[in-house]
Amino acid sequence: MYWYHHGGGGWGWIAATIGMILFWALVVTVGILVFRALARPGKYGGEQTGWRAGWHTGPPPPAGPTAEQILAERYARGEIEDEEYQRRLAILRSSRQGPAPP
């Protein structure tokens, strides 16, 4: 190190410092990624739980409003009349029971 006029000056220390910071950042990042992969339920992380095999383990997302709720909202806003509301509601409830026998 001392035979070429004391090395490259301060640049050698700066390069070594930056290299060491990058090395430890890489080690920490790999460690975090391995930990997250092993802690996650699924293919490599243990038993599969929840509504799907993956990261989310809570209940499934709520379904949208039902047809009866949409119809009631339209009636409440005044978009449809009373007779039309009753007729459509009867159709919805009869279709829920299944088709009529032949």
Mean pLDDT of 80-101: 83
Q: Cα separations (Å) of 23 from 26, 36, 37?
A: 5, 20, 21
Q: Is residue 39 part of a domain?
A: yes
Quote the tokens at residue 5. 């006029």
pLDDT of residue 96: 73
Give the range of the structural domain holding residue 18, as residue numbers without chain letter: 1-45
Task: Indicate if 3 and 40 belong to the same structural domain.
Answer: yes
Instruction: Decide if pLDDT at 14 tops 80.
Output: yes
The pTM is what?
A: 0.37
Instruction: Read off the pLDDT of each residue in 94-98 and give the average, rounded to a whole number.
Output: 74
Instruction: Identify whether residues 40 and 72 lie together within a single domain.
Output: no
In a domain, 22, yes or no: yes
Same domain, 4 and 41: yes
Question: Which residues, including other chains, have CB under 8 Å from residue 27's CB and lie 6 or more apart?
Answer: none
How many domains would you assign to the chain?
2
Taking only the tens place, the pLDDT of each residue in 16-72 is: 899 999 999 999 999 999 998 888 765 554 454 444 455 555 666 677 888 899 999
41/1 same-domain check: yes
Residue 40, both tokens: 């996650």
Q: How far apart are CA 68 and CA 89, in angstroms?
A: 7
